[in-house]
Structure 1
Amino acid sequence: MKPLLPQYYKIGHKPVILQLLAVNELRLYRPVLRCLSRLTIVLAVVFIVIHLRPHFRKIDVAYISKSTPDMLDEARRPFPKIIHQSWKTDCLPTKFEHWSATWKANHPNWTYILWTDEENRNLVSHHYPWFLSTYDSLPKPIMRADAARYIYMHKYGGVYADLDMESLRPLDDLVEGRELILGQMGTQISPWWQHSLPNAWMASKPNHSYWMHCLQDIMNTMEHRRSHGDPWLSVNAEYVTGPAMLHRVFLNYIQLPLAQREPVFIADADIVFPYDWSNISPHYQVCAATNIRMFNVERCKALVTTERTVSITYWSHSWEPQMMNADLTTEMGLEKM
Structure 2
Amino acid sequence: MGRLARRRLRFLAVAVFITGVPFLVVQHNMITTEDLQMCAEIRADLQPDVESDFPTVKGVRPRIPHIIHQTYRNETVPFILREYARSFIANHPDWQYKFWSDADGRHLIQERHPYLLQTWDGYQQNIQRADALRYSVLYEYGGVYADLDVENLRPLDRATMKYSCIIPTEPFEHSIFLYNSPYLINNAFIMCRAKHPFFKQVLLNLVKTSTIQTTTADNQVMMTTGPLFFTNEFNNFMGIDQESTNIYRKKTDWSSNSPYFYKGERKEDDEDGIYVPNTRYFTDEVDDYAAGVVENMCKDRFRHCDNVLLQRGCVEAEARGLNRKHRLYTFNGDAANERRATDNRKRICK
Look up the equivalent residue of 2:119 and give its one-letter code. T
Look up the equivalent residue of 2:72 and give its one-letter code. W
Task: Summarize deviations over 1:282-323 as a string: whole Å, max 9, x none.
Answer: 999xxxxxxxxxxxxxxxx993321110001234459x7x99
TM-score with structure 2 setting the length: 0.58
> Which of the residues 103, 112, 116 maps onto 2:88?
103
The equivalences for 1:145-160 within 5 A come to 145-160=130-145
> Which of the residues 266, 271, 276 maps onto 1:266?
276
1:214 CA displacement: 1.6
The equivalences for 1:109-188 within 5 A come to 109-187=94-172
Higher share of residues assigned helix: 1
**1:326 corresponding residue in structure 2:** none
Secondary structure at the residue paired with 2:203? helix
1:138 CA displacement: 1.5
Q: Does 1:253 align with 2:237?
A: yes
TM-score with structure 1 setting the length: 0.60
**8 Å CA contact retained: 1:79, 1:175:** yes
Segment of structure 1 superposing worse, 257-266 or 178-187: 257-266
Q: Does 1:232 align with 2:215?
A: yes
**2:331 corresponding residue in structure 1:** 310
C-alpha distance in structure 1 between counterparts of 2:95 and 2:323, whole Å: 28
1:173 CA displacement: 0.7
Secondary structure at the residue paired with 1:203? strand
Inter-CA distance 306–197: structure 2 relative to 1 (3 Å threshold):
same
1:110 CA displacement: 0.4
**1:276 corresponding residue in structure 2:** 286
**8 Å CA contact retained: 2:285, 2:333:** yes
1:84 CA displacement: 0.5
Look up the equivalent residue of 1:249 and give its one-letter code. E
Inter-CA distance 89–262: structure 2 relative to 1 (3 Å threshold):
same
Q: Which structure 2 segments of 5+ residues have no match?
A: 1-33, 35-44, 49-59, 241-263, 296-321
Q: Which structure 1 segments of 5+ residues have no match?
A: 1-41, 43-56, 61-74, 285-300, 324-337
Segment of structure 1 superposing worse, 272-281 or 175-184: 272-281
**8 Å CA contact retained: 2:64, 2:165:** no
Secondary structure at the residue paired with 1:271? helix
Identity of aligned residues (%): 24
C-alpha distance in structure 1 between counterparts of 2:80 and 2:104, whole Å: 22
Give the CA RMSD over aligned residues. Answer: 3.6
C-alpha distance in structure 2 between counterparts of 1:302 and 1:279, whole Å: 11
> Which of the residues 191, 195, 198 maps onto 1:207?
195
Task: Summarize deviations over 1:54-98 as a string: whole Å, max 9, x none.
Answer: xxx8588xxxxxxxxxxxxxx976421100111122232112121
Larger Rg: 1
Secondary structure at the residue paired with 1:217? helix
C-alpha distance in structure 1 between counterparts of 2:67 and 2:271, whole Å: 24
Look up the equivalent residue of 2:107 and give its one-letter code. N
1:254 CA displacement: 1.0
**8 Å CA contact retained: 2:170, 2:279:** yes
C-alpha distance in structure 1 between counterparts of 2:237 and 2:180, whole Å: 17
Secondary structure at the residue paired with 1:265? coil
The equivalences for 1:46-85 within 5 A come to 58=46, 78-85=63-70
Inter-CA distance 111–283: structure 2 relative to 1 (3 Å threshold):
farther
